[in-house]
Structure 1
Amino acid sequence: MAAEPSIWRDQATAWTRLSTQLDGQAAALQGHNQDLSAGWRGGDAAAALDHSRRVVQTWRGRVDTLEQVGRVLAAHADRIATVRGRAIAVAQAAGPTHEIGPDGTVSVTPLAIAGAVLAPWQITTLQQRSEQLAAELTQILAEASRIDAETAHALRAAGTQSPGSGGGKSPAVVVPASSTPPAEVARWWAGLNPAQREQLLSTDPARIGGLDGVPAVYRDRANRIGLSAAHEQVANERDAVLRLPPGETRDTALAAVEEKGRALDAIEHRLTATSGPPAYLLGLDTTGTGRAIVAVGNPDTADNVITYVPGTGARLGGTPGDVMRADAVVEAARAADPAASTAAITWVGYDAPQTIIDLPPDGTDATNPDYAHQAGPGLDRFQDGLRATHEGAPSHNTVLGHSYGSTVVGYSAREQGLAVDDLVFIGSPGVGADTAAELGHDSDHVWSGHIDNDPIQYGISPSELQVGIGLPDPSPGGTGLIHGVNPSDPGFGAQVFGAQDGSLGPDAHSQYWDRDSESLLNLGRIATGNYEQVTR
C-alpha cells in the first residue's frame, strides 16, 4: 500500500530517454566515421574505423537493452498500481470494525466490541469477515510478490544480454498458431525468459491475448494493451456508418456500433475497479457483433473456476451485463464455501445467433444448431487452456450454459469432450442430446435447472416452423424443445436442481441470477462442489 508506482514510471521514462540519446550518439558517430573514411587512408585508418564501427554496433545493441528496461519498469508500475488499488479497496472495506496489520493480518478492532453487547452470531460474523479480508490480502500480496520476482528476473535478463552482430536485436520468437494444443502453448510460454515475454506483449499483444495456454495475467495485460486499438476501431466503424445515407439501415448500424463503444467503456471500468474481485480480460474482438472473454477472479489461482456461456444475442455489446452475472456467481460461490476462492468467466468467444426465431426460417436464428456446432472447438480449447495454466492442485471447473449457450455447451461436450468437472444447463432449449450419458460425463455431474414460467420450456421444433408455430408440449418440463430433449426432464438423466418461480412473461428467462434466489444459490453450490447443499 505504501508503494509509489510513479517512481517506476519516472525511471521508465529516464531509461527510455537514455536509449534515445544513445541512439542519437551512435548515429552521430557513424556519420563521423563516414566523414573520416573519406579523407584518411592506410592501416591506421582501417584499424581506427574498425574500432569505431564496433563502438557504434555496441551502442546500438545497448539501445535495445535500455528500451527493454524502460518497458519492464513501465509495465511493473502499472501492475503494482493495480494490486495496490486492490489492497486499498480491502482496507476501505475493513472500515472501523477491523484492523489490518502491516503484514496483511486482519483482526477485529477492540473498539468494535468494547462497550457493546453483541450476540454470539455477531461476533462470529466479525471473525468471518476478518478471515475473508485476510484471504483477499493474502492473494494480493502473493500476486505482488510474483510481480516483483518477474520484474527482477526481466531486468537481470535485460542487463546480461550481449549486443548481437545484427545491432543487438534478439532473435525473433515464433508465436504458436492459435490451433496449437494449449498444453503445448503453456510449455512454450514457460520456456521463454521474462525479457522475451515482455517483448511479445509489447510487439504482438493481439496474438498473445487470444492464445489459449498463456497464463491469465499475461493474456489480460496483452488485451488491455489492445483496448486502445479496439476503441479506435470502433470509432472508425462509427465514422464509416455516419457516411451512409440517412435511413433505417444507418440508424440500426449506428445503434450497434455505439453499443460496442459503451461496452468497451464498461469493460474498462470493471477492469480498473478497486472494489470486488479483480477482473481479467482474456479475449477481445470488435469485428462483426464482437466477442469478449472476461474473468472475475484469476482462474489460474482459484480453487473453483466456472465458465458462463451466454446464449441468443450474446455479443460484445452485452458483455458488461454478462460480467455482472459472473460477479453474482462469485458471490454465491463465496456464500457456499467462504474458505475457497472462485473465478467466474464470461465466455463470449463465439458468434451467437442474434434472434430467437425468424419467420420464415433463414438459418440465422436460434433454431439453427450450426452456431453451437461451430462454437464447440473454441470452448473445448479454452477449457483445455484453463487446465494447462492452472497453478498448484487442479481446480474444480464447471461450464454453465444459459439458453442457447446451453446448446453450445451440450454440442461441445458431445462432440469435443470438455475437461471440466460439472456441466450445468439453465433455461435450456435443448443441448443436442437425448440423454445425459451422451455428453461424456457421469450423470451425477450433469445439472439442469428451469425457472417456473420460463417461456423457453414451451419449445417449438424446427420442423414445425415450416408449417407454422406449434407448441408440442405445453407443460413446463416438457420434452419437445427446439434442440432436443429438455435436460430437466426426468428421462434425460441429469441432476435437476431447484429454481424459484419466475415472473410471468419473458423476464423469467433471465431471473436465474436474481440476488439470493434459489437458482443462484444452487449455482454457487455446484461451482464449489458442495453438492449436498443443492436443493432439488
Structure 2
Amino acid sequence: MGVHAAAQAWRALSREAEAADTRHRHQVNGPLRHAQWQGRDADSAFHTMERTEQILEVVRVEAEAAALILETVADRMDQARTNLLNALRRADEWGLPVSPDGAVGLPPQSAPQHHDPDPGADALMLLRSQLQARIDAAVAGAREAAEQGAQALGRLDADILTAPRTFGAAAESARDAADVAKDLGLVAPAVPENTDPRQAAAWWAALTPDQQQSLSALHPEEIGRLDGLPSAVRDRANRLLLEQQSDALHVGAPDGAGPTYGEYSRRENALRALKDRLDGADGDPEDRQLYLLALDPRGDGRAVVATGDPDTADHTAVLVPGTGTTLAGMPGQIDRAAALRTEAARAAGPGSRVSVISWLGYDAPELDASMATTDRAEQGAADMRRFTEGVRTAQGDRHGHLTVIGHSYGTTAVGIAARGGDGLRADDIIGVASPGMGTDRAEKLHIDPAHVWLGTAPDDMISNAAGLTLGPDPARAEFGGRTFGVDTHGHSGYWDPDSQSLANQGRIIAGLQPAPTPAPPTAPLAPHDESAAPDHRRPRTAG
C-alpha cells in the first residue's frame, strides 16, 4: 500500500537526520572546537552550527512523527478494508446485492409480499441489517482514520528548514509528538518501569529496529532512563531530551505555579553548561567520547555521564560525588572522570578500554543539616544498585572490571547502597575523603574487604570528622578495608594532575595494586591555598 511506503520513507528521513546530526557533531563542530577557534566569526559560526544540529534533531522527531501517523492510518485503513471485504464476501454467500454506495439490498424474489409474511424473508432482512452495519462500520473506520491522520499531520512543523527562529523548535517538536498520539487515540507505549535492567534489556532486544527508532525519537525521556539498555541508545535519547528540555526552559515562562523565573533560569543555565561540555567533547577519540546516560533537570538536577563507552570497556568506574553537587556542577564532575580515565588507561596499558562514569543519580545533600544524616544516601541506594546492575547487563556475558568510587558524602551513598540488597556487583570500592560509609565493617559491603580502598589527605577536614554522624572512620584498621597513598591536600585535591592520589585511583580502576599510604611526614605540612593553584589545574566542584 502506498501509505505504508510513505511511512517508511519518512522513517528513513528520520534515520538520516539522526545520522547527519552525529556526523556534524563529530566531523564539523567537534574538530572546530578542538582547534580552539575563537573570535566574532567563530561565535557566529558556532551559533549557526548549533542551529543546524537543532534543525536535524527536529527533523528527526517530526519525520518520525509523520511516519507514525502514516503507519497508524495505513494499518487502520487496512483493517477497514479487510472488514469491508469480509462483509462483501458474506453478502455474496447470502445472495445479498450491495450497491456502489454501500447499500445492502435483498434478492428480487425476497421482496416483501402483501399476503402472509415469509419466515425466510424475515431472516434475510436480519442478515441484510447485520451486513449493512458491518459495511457502515468499515467505511466509518476508514473515514475516521483519514480525518485523524489529517489532523495529526497538520500539527507537524513543515517550515522548520526555512523558519528563522532558533529557540522553541525543539520543545515544540516534542509537544507535536505528544499531540499526534492524542489525535490518533494512541495509548502510551508499553515501556517498562525502570526497575529491572535485565527485563528492560530483553524488552529492547525484542523490538524491531523501526520500533526502537520510533521510541527513541518520540519518547526520549522514557528510553534514556532505562538501566540495562545500550549506552549509545541512551546517549542518543538523552541528548535529544537535553535539547528539548533546554529549549522548553528558554522559551517557557512560569504561570504562577511551580518554578519561579529564577528557577527556570538556573535550570536552563545548568543544562546549557552540560550541553557545552558535551559539545566540547565532540570529535574526541572514540575512547574519550562522552555518553549521556541519564538526565533530569528537576530540583537540583541529576545526570549520569560516561567518559568512554562502558558497554565495551575492560575496566569501568562509577564516580559518586558528595555534598553540594548539583546538575550545574556536572562539567567539573566530568573533568574528574576524564582524569581518572586517563590514569586508569595509562595503568592498564595499550589496548585496554576504560570508561569512567560520573553518577549524579541521587539528590546529593546541600550544605546544611541534610549532610549530617544518611537520609539522602538511603533514598538513592536502590537507584545506585540498579545502575551498576544495568552496567553489567549492558556489557552482556563479558565480565569487565567494575570499580565504584565515592567522594565525601558520596562514600556514604556508596556504602549504604553496597550494604543493601545484593550490593553493587563491584570488584573494587574506593572511598575518598569519607566522613563515614554508613556501616562499621567493610565485610558488610557485599565485597571482599581486601578490595575496599580508602584514601584521605592529612589536612582534609571533612574526612577528619569521620565517625561523628555517618558511621565510624572507614580508614581505621578496625573497619577492615585497605588504604592507599594520598599526596594531595584539602578536600578536592584527589584529582590533581600528576599526583599519587590520582594515579592510585587509576591503578585500582585498572585492577592493579595502588601504592601504599606513605609514612607520616616529619615536618608540619604547609597550609594548602586553593586560590594559589596553578592555571593548569582542573576546576573543582563542591564535595
TM-score bin (small chain) = 0.5 to 0.7
Distance in 2, Cα, partners of 1:420 & 1:164: 49
Corresponding residue of 1:185: 200
Which of 304, 315, 329 is the matching residue for 1:318? 329
Distance in 2, Cα, partners of 1:306 & 1:354: 25
Corresponding residue of 1:63: 6
The alignment partner of 1:513 has SS state of coil
Corresponding residue of 2:22: 79
The alignment partner of 2:254 has SS state of helix
Which of 460, 485, 490 is the matching residue for 1:498? 485
On the 8 A contact 2:373/2:469 being kept in 1, the answer is no
Distance in 2, Cα, partners of 1:174 & 1:306: 32
The alignment partner of 1:281 has SS state of strand
The alignment partner of 1:240 has SS state of coil
The alignment partner of 2:491 has SS state of helix
1:519 aligns with 2:501: yes
Structure 2 CA distance for partners of 1:262 and 1:338, relative to 1, 3 Å: farther
User: C-alpha offsets along residues 379-421 of structure 1, whole Å, 9 cap, x if unaligned?
Assistant: 0000010001115622111110111111000000011311111
Moved more, 490-499 or 390-399: 390-399
Corresponding residue of 2:145: none
Distance in 2, Cα, partners of 1:81 & 1:435: 51
Q: How many residues align?
A: 374
The residue type paired with residue 448 of structure 1 is L
Corresponding residue of 1:430: 436
Corresponding residue of 1:489: 476
- The CA deviation at 1:485 is 1.0
On the 8 A contact 1:270/1:279 being kept in 2, the answer is no
Corresponding residue of 1:449: 455
On the 8 A contact 2:485/2:514 being kept in 1, the answer is no
The residue type paired with residue 492 of structure 1 is F
Distance in 1, Cα, partners of 2:77 & 2:237: 27
- The CA deviation at 1:80 is 3.7
Gaps of 5+ in 1: 1-57, 94-153, 359-364, 460-478, 503-507
The alignment partner of 2:435 has SS state of coil
On the 8 A contact 2:343/2:502 being kept in 1, the answer is yes
The residue type paired with residue 467 of structure 2 is G
- The CA deviation at 1:481 is 3.3
User: C-alpha offsets along residues 54-98 of structure 1, whole Å, 9 cap, x if unaligned?
Assistant: xxxx33333321211111111222234445469969x999xxxxx
User: C-alpha offsets along residues 88-140 of structure 1, whole Å, 9 cap, x if unaligned?
Assistant: 69x999xxxxxxxxxxxxxxxxxxxxxxxxxxxxxxxxxxxxxxxxxxxxxxx
Which of 76, 79, 86 is the matching residue for 1:166? 76
The residue type paired with residue 254 of structure 2 is A
Structure 2 CA distance for partners of 1:259 and 1:87, relative to 1, 3 Å: closer
Distance in 2, Cα, partners of 1:291 & 1:532: 31
- The CA deviation at 1:235 is 2.9
The residue type paired with residue 197 of structure 1 is Q
Distance in 1, Cα, partners of 2:220 & 2:333: 25
- The CA deviation at 1:445 is 0.8
Structure 2 CA distance for partners of 1:429 and 1:178, relative to 1, 3 Å: same
Distance in 2, Cα, partners of 1:262 & 1:162: 39
The alignment partner of 1:294 has SS state of strand
The residue type paired with residue 281 of structure 1 is L
Corresponding residue of 2:226: 211
Distance in 2, Cα, partners of 1:162 & 1:351: 41
Distance in 2, Cα, partners of 1:162 & 1:225: 24
The residue type paired with residue 329 of structure 2 is G
Which of 347, 354, 364 is the matching residue for 2:359? 347
User: C-alpha offsets along residues 24-81 of structure 1, whole Å, 9 cap, x if unaligned?
Assistant: xxxxxxxxxxxxxxxxxxxxxxxxxxxxxxxxxx333333212111111112222344
Aligned residue runs from structure 1 range 382-461, under 5 A: 382-390=387-395, 393-416=398-421, 417-459=423-465
Corresponding residue of 1:240: 254
The residue type paired with residue 531 of structure 1 is Q
- The CA deviation at 1:490 is 1.1
Distance in 1, Cα, partners of 2:320 & 2:9: 44
Distance in 1, Cα, partners of 2:265 & 2:333: 18
- The CA deviation at 1:265 is 2.1
Corresponding residue of 1:41: none
Distance in 2, Cα, partners of 1:78 & 1:232: 17
- The CA deviation at 1:370 is 1.1
On the 8 A contact 1:86/1:275 being kept in 2, the answer is no
Distance in 2, Cα, partners of 1:234 & 1:497: 45
- The CA deviation at 1:269 is 2.3
Distance in 1, Cα, partners of 2:374 & 2:31: 47
TM-score by length of 2: 0.63
Distance in 2, Cα, partners of 1:257 & 1:207: 22
1:327 aligns with 2:338: yes
TM-score by length of 1: 0.64
Gaps of 5+ in 2: 37-63, 79-183, 519-543
Corresponding residue of 1:39: none
The alignment partner of 1:401 has SS state of strand
Distance in 2, Cα, partners of 1:81 & 1:290: 28
- The CA deviation at 1:211 is 0.6
Task: Give 1 or 2 for the bigger CA radius of gyration.
Answer: 2
Structure 2 CA distance for partners of 1:411 and 1:491, relative to 1, 3 Å: same
Distance in 1, Cα, partners of 2:232 & 2:308: 11
Corresponding residue of 2:313: 302
On the 8 A contact 1:210/1:283 being kept in 2, the answer is yes
Distance in 2, Cα, partners of 1:345 & 1:324: 11
User: C-alpha offsets along residues 209-259 of structure 1, whole Å, 9 cap, x if unaligned?
Assistant: 00111110000000011112221343367x439x89xxxx98xx83x6544
The residue type paired with residue 76 of structure 2 is G
Distance in 1, Cα, partners of 2:440 & 2:319: 22
Distance in 2, Cα, partners of 1:311 & 1:511: 14
On the 8 A contact 1:453/1:501 being kept in 2, the answer is no
The residue type paired with residue 67 of structure 1 is W
The residue type paired with residue 178 of structure 1 is N
Structure 2 CA distance for partners of 1:489 and 1:173, relative to 1, 3 Å: same
Distance in 1, Cα, partners of 2:268 & 2:19: 28
| Percentage of matched positions with identical amino acids | 36
